Amino acid sequence: MASLTLPRKGLASSSKTATLLALLGGLAILAPSAEAQDRGAESTLDEENAAKVERLRAELTNQIQLQAYDLLDELVFAWTETPPFDSPTPVILADVTVPVAFGSGLEALIETHMAQLLIKNANSNVQLSHCPACHALLVHSGESGTVISRGVDQPKALAKLRGEGGAEHALFIDFEAEGTALVLRARITRMSEDLPIVYARTLSSRTSSAPLLRKPDRLVSAEQARAEYEELLAGRGPIAIPVRLTLSAFAPNTDSALQVPIPIPWVQAGGELALGSARVWTASLIVGATFLPEIQTGLMVQGRIYRLISGNSFSLTRPNFYMFFGTALAVIQGPTAAVLDPEPSGNPIVDLLGTFATYPSVQTGIEFRLNNRIGASFFIESMPTLWTAENVGNWMDQLNTGIDFSFLQVNSLGMEVTFAF
Amino acid sequence: MQILFYYLLFNLAFFGDVANDPAHEAWQGRSAARQFECERISQAKAHEKYPGVVPAPHPRAATLYEIDAMVCDRFVVEAGRRSAQKEAILQNLHADIDELVAVASAPKTIALNTDPNAERKSVRFKVDAFYPDLVMTQKIANAAKVALAERGHQVSDATWQLTAGDIEVFRSMHMRDALPLACKRAYRLKSLADDEVFVALALLHEKESQLHVGTCQRGVFQWLR
Distance CA A176, CA B136 (A): 10
pLDDT of A415 reads 94
Q: Which residues of B touch A140 (CB under 8 A)?
A: none
User: Is there a contact between B75 and A309 if contact means CB atoms under 8 Å apart?
Assistant: no
* Other Cβ atoms closer than 10 A to A55: 10
Of A182, A196, A408, the CB nearest to B2: A408
What chain B residue is nearest to A280 in terms of C-alpha separation?
Answer: B53
Mutual angle of helices B175-188 and B164-171, in 10-degree steps: 160
Let me know: does A393 contact A383? Beta carbons within 8 Å.
no
ipTM confidence: 0.81
Of A187, A204, A316, the CB nearest to B149: A187
pLDDT of A299 reads 93
The amino acid occupying position A393 is G
Between CA B40 and CA B45, with CA B42 as vertex, the angle to 5 degrees is 110
Which comes out higher in pLDDT, residue B3 or A332? A332
**pLDDT tens for each residue of B60-109:** 777 777 788 888 888 888 777 788 888 888 888 898 999 998 888 887 76
**pLDDT tens for each residue of A91-126:** 988 888 888 877 777 888 888 989 988 998 888 888
User: Is there a contact between B135 and A97 if contact means CB atoms under 8 Å apart?
Assistant: yes
pLDDT for residue B181 is more than 60: yes
Q: Which residues of A touch B16 (CB under 8 A)?
A: 307-309, 323
Residues sharing a CB contact under 8 Å with residue A216, sequence separation 6 or more, in sequence order: A73, A113, A116, A117, A120, A121
B82/A contact by beta carbon, under 8 A: yes
pLDDT of A255 reads 64
Distance CA A110, CA A129 (A): 16
Q: Which stretches in chain A have pLDDT values below 70?
A: 1-45, 49-50, 52-62, 144, 163-165, 208-219, 222, 230-236, 254-258, 342-346, 348-353
pLDDT of A23 reads 37
Tell whether pTM > 0.90.
no
pLDDT of A184 reads 93
**pLDDT tens for each residue of B101-124:** 888 888 776 765 555 555 555 788
Of B5, B53, B81, the CB nearest to A101: B81
